[in-house]
Structure 1
Amino acid sequence: MKFTNKDALLFDLDGTLIDSVPDLALSINQMLNALDMKPYPTDIIRSWVGNGAEVLTKRALSGSIEISPDLNTAYVEKALSIFLTYYEQNVCVETTLYPNVKSTLETLHRSGYRLVIVTNKPEQFVRPILKHLGLNDLFEMVVGGDSLPKRKPDPMQLTYVCETLGVAPSNCLMIGDSKNDIFAATAAQMQSVGLTYGYNHGEDINSHGASLILDNFADIIDALVPATELVD
């Protein structure tokens, strides 16, 4: 499949551009230690990532991807505050880019596409990560999980980007690794790309209705038809 007439490319962050699990796991386990709770292996915490900091905290407190209905609200708020404090200290210690991400983004930026981050990660952490990894100047806009009242899979973030940039949803493409990205795009009437290598809680990304599924981030370039080619 080839995408035509795309002006803006919206990218999820964790599991799409970066593997942040090592730093998230470190910070979650530091939080659990501070609360006198047992830590968990990184691979377990990896399966909990993808729905924002509060959900990750609740899963850690529950010891499961299924959040316990018995969690005390005040206790969750305390734990979340502890986690965010530790994560701020560890935000880009072992976080790495996935293969071909930087070169592909640079190519897309040079080609004139408007690049945007749409993530469920709290906004305060996004720019420091982008800066540390040398990506900050490539993105025109960042929308975090706490930037608006609702976040993916709700379409609010995507709709906000369209309105702010003055671009129709049909001229945008959402690129992510989880069903939250795909569902948000569908609800915003936007086409989407699902990447197979990220965080999708063990579910097959093929099953969520993405317009295109890719294994390699670099293949996004070949999936886009530049406006110059359409004219030719």
Structure 2
Amino acid sequence: MLKVLPKPKGVLFDLDGTLLDTARDLGNALNWVLQQHEMPVCEFDVYRNIASDGSQGLLEIGFGEKLAEFDVEALRALFLDRYEQEICIDTVSFDGIKELLARLDEDNIPWGIVTNKPQWLTELLLPNFDEFANCQVVISGDTLAKRKPDPLPLIHAAKIMQIAPSECWYIGDAKRDIDAAIAANMTSVVANYGYIGPEHRSDTWNADLYIDQPQAMLKHL
């Protein structure tokens, strides 16, 4: 039986892999760090589906078993410094995101961002995209004491938008996004166009809705 979903009164988005395709800039930073340590670089197809896991996940895929031989915090600092310097060279919004956000604005449906990206990087990245001008709230990974998969950031964002969590949708491309949305009593949406590989088995995440492109959200508004 097809599940009937309530029309959202507010929408919250993950950032990397959901609103923005940041994989190439993240991968470029990883490969720069690898080159500094005379390690072979990673191909796009290798790191793309790890991009949502941030610096730790990328360093693990890049250095593999050799990661244990290095000071991981020092590597992470190098990675973040390089990423900060070139944070928006190849980053773009996913096809259809501009249209989706414009429709939310047109329908007076408030929307915001809840990401695990550090606040200083989030604040550096977002101003590069005019389509985010009407964003109502931004919660980063270090804004609060807890981050996804804990539901606190989602609940806090909904409170700022003055919308009950049960009337809010959350869209993300990682299991932690869906776990947080379910725990927050929000309608959960998997962005299958994001950084999801077959190994992630998103069909087992128990989400309310799966979309293969951002435009698929329009029929629910």
Fold shared per TM-score above 0.5: yes
Aligned with residue 215 of structure 1, among 212, 215, 219: 212
How far residue 50 of structure 1 moved from its aligned partner, in angstroms, is 1.3
1:109 corresponds to 2:105: yes
- Kept in 1, the 8 Å contact 2:13–2:171? The answer is yes
RMSD: 2.1
| Structure 2 unaligned spans of 5+ | none
**d(CA) in 1 for partners of 2:36, 2:101:** 39
Q: Paired residue for 1:51, among 41, 50, 53? A: 53
1:220–1:5 CA distance, 2 compared to 1 (3 A): closer
Q: Counterparts of 1:137-152 in structure 2 under 5 Å?
A: 137-152=133-148
Matches within 5 A, 1:159-170: 159-170=155-166
Separation (CA, whole Å) in 2 of partners of 1:63 and 1:173: 39
The Cα of 1:2 is off from its aligned counterpart by: 5.1
Matched, 1:129 2:125: yes
Match of 1:25 among 11, 24, 27: 27
Q: Secondary structure of 1:9's partner?
A: strand
Structure 2 counterpart SS, 1:48: helix
Question: TM-score, normalization: structure 1?
Answer: 0.84
- Deviations, residues 30-73 of structure 1 (Å, cap 9, x unaligned): 11222333221121111322123333334433369xxx6x466x
Query: Quick one: structure 1 residues 154 and 52, their matched pair in 2 at CA, closer, same or farther if it must change by over 3 Å?
Result: farther
Change (3 A) 1:196 1:5: closer
Query: Cα distance, 1:4 vs. partner?
Result: 2.8
Shift of 1:11: 0.4
Cα offset, 1:27, TM superposition: 0.5
1:38 paired residue number: 40
TM-score, normalised to structure 2's length? 0.88
- The equivalent residue for 2:167 is 171
Could you report, residue by residue, the CA deviation over 1:71-104 in whole angstroms, capped at 9, with x for unpaired residues?
Answer: 66xx111111111111011111111221111011
Cα 1:5–1:44 change in 2 (3 A) is closer
Query: Unaligned regions of 5+ residues in structure 1, if any?
Result: 225-232
CA distance in 2, matches of 1:214, 1:116: 19
8 Å Cα contact 1:8-1:171 kept in structure 2? yes
2:175 alignment partner AA: K
- Higher share in helix: 2
| Distance (Å, rounded) in 1 between the aligned partners of 2:72 and 2:32 | 15
Q: Residue 86 of structure 2: which of 71, 90, 98 is its match?
A: 90
Q: How many residues align?
A: 218
**Which has the larger displacement, 141-150 or 186-195?**
141-150
Letter in 2 for 1:180: R
**Cα 1:56–1:154 shift into 2, 3 Å:** farther
What do residues 133-169 of structure 1 show as CA deviations (whole Å, max 9, x unaligned)?
2223121111112222332222121122133333221
**Identity over aligned pairs, percent:** 33
Query: 8 Å contact 1:118–1:157 — kept in the other structure?
Result: yes
What SS does the corresponding residue of 1:138 show, helix, strand or coil?
coil
State the secondary structure of the residue aligned to 2:189.
strand
